[in-house]
Amino acid sequence: MGYTARDKLNSIYLSSSLILAGLFSSLSGSWLMFLIIAAAMITALVLTSDIRLTHRR
């Protein structure tokens, strides 16, 4: 099975969220901050449907 455009966009959104969370948490030096920021960003992207978990028909 090949990657669809939706899969590629989801991976870009997910990786950019993790990179940004890593940058912000490196400033504070806290793994807890990384987890909080990453969870908040990924949750926000899922709730706004930028990251789509299922196919819409």
pTM: 0.83
pLDDT score of 56 more than 70: no
Q: Are 51 and 10 in contact (CB under 8 A)?
A: yes
Strand residue runs (E) in the chain: none
pLDDT of residue 36: 96
